Amino acid sequence: MSLLEHTPSAAQLRRTAYRRRQTVRSVLVAASSTAALGTLLVLAVTGAPGWDRVRESFLDPSIARDALPAVLAGLWLNVRLLVCCAAGALLLGLLIALLRTLRGPVFFPVRALAAGYTYTFRGLPLIIVLYVLTLGVPGLRLQGMPPVLVLGGLALVLTYGGYLAEVFRAGIESIHPSQLAAARSLGLTYRQTMRHVVLPQAVRRVAPPLLNDVVALQKDVGLVSLAGPIDAVRAAQIATAETFNYTPYILAGVLFVLLAIPLIAVTDWVTLRSARRQSGG
């Protein structure tokens, strides 16, 4: 007998009705507690003695309108830097992770160098790397020195490359040795095994943490403004200094969140998909 023709027993009907009542109840509880908390928050903030002054200095629509072009121009710099630095850091991270998996005495210096790199740049604060590269390196007055923006981007790539290398390495090491044995037994070389069997699986597995680091990078690219280039936050700072009003910061913050939402959504989607795939497999 198919499921469709099945007539539920009285006990099953009682269970279904009970579960339905419980569902309705929990939805009602959730809705009313959210409404209560929201009302409390709004009352607490708008009822505060200093609310009017805070609203004027943080939420002034006309100042937001005036600052918008400059902040948007800064944000465009953030976006361009993000795309270039994310690509660079992903490539560098993958390269370093692969170098760390090389075996054999010939590769000892390469392995040691790669390990030293991930230790150094994961420990070193980004701001110090930025200062050294954007202020220290141009001080050498070498021929053909790249512009400060490129040096700042390089600092970001070096720092994030260290984190991403460890994520890639964790992915590579998570692939079961039996997969390597199967690939090698087919006559594939070590390099072919990495290229066709290990890396495709490893990258899929660590895609969520990789994207998470890219979301973090999105916020850190603005730090190049410490060396001169004007990003969204720096543009907001300039506008604030002109008007003695903090609204441009709020504006920049809102724009950053809007920019991050698509990336975070993609991260969540990839995470969900890989979780489903693993439980399915």
Partner 1 sequence: MPVLTCRGLRKEFGGHMVLDGLDLTVDEHQVVALIGASGSGKSTLLRCVNLLEELDDGSIELDGEEISDPRVDPDLVRRRIGMVFQSYNLFPHLTVLENITLAPRRVHRRARAEADAQARELLDRVGLGAKADAYPDRLSGGQQQRVAIVRALANSPRLMLLDEVTSALDPELVGEVLTMIRDLKADGMTMVLATHEMGFAREVADQVCFLDGGRVVEAGPPAQVLGEPTQPRTRQFLSRIIEAGRL
What residue ranges bind partner 1 (CB under 8 A)?
178-179, 181-189, 192, 196-197, 200-201, 204, 280-281
CB 125 within 8 A of CB 220: no
Q: Which ranges constitute the DSSP H helices of the chain? A: 10-46, 51-58, 61-101, 108-123, 126-131, 148-174, 177-185, 190-193, 199-220, 232-243, 247-280
Distance from CA of residue 15 to its chain's centroid?
44
- Between 87 and 181, name the residue whose CB sits nearer to partner 1: 181
Q: Residue 195 Cβ, how far from partner 1 at the closest point, in Å? A: 8
Q: Residue 227 Cβ, how far from partner 1 at the closest point, in Å? A: 42
CB 102 within 8 A of CB 110: yes
In Å, what is the CA distance from 131 to each residue of 78, 148, 225, 229? 18, 11, 11, 13
For 87-130, the DSSP string reads: HHHHHHHHHHHHHHH--SGGGHHHHHHHHHHHHHHHHS-HHHHH
Q: Residue 177 Cβ, how far from partner 1 at the closest point, in Å? A: 10
- Between 22 and 179, name the residue whose CB sits nearer to partner 1: 179
- Between 9 and 178, name the residue whose CB sits nearer to partner 1: 178
- Between 46 and 179, name the residue whose CB sits nearer to partner 1: 179
CB 127 within 8 A of CB 155: no
Q: Residue 237 Cβ, how far from partner 1 at the closest point, in Å? A: 47
Q: Residue 174 Cβ, how far from partner 1 at the closest point, in Å? A: 13
Tell the residue number behind the tokens 């490539």, with chain if given: 91
Q: Residue 199 Cβ, how far from partner 1 at the closest point, in Å? A: 10
- Between 104 and 280, name the residue whose CB sits nearer to partner 1: 280
* ∠ Cα 265 269 275 (to 5°): 145
The residue among 225, 231, 73 whose CA lies nearest residue 152 is 225
- Between 182 and 261, name the residue whose CB sits nearer to partner 1: 182
Rounded Cα distance between 186 and 196, Å, is: 12
Q: Residue 38 Cβ, how far from partner 1 at the closest point, in Å? A: 45
- Between 33 and 189, name the residue whose CB sits nearer to partner 1: 189
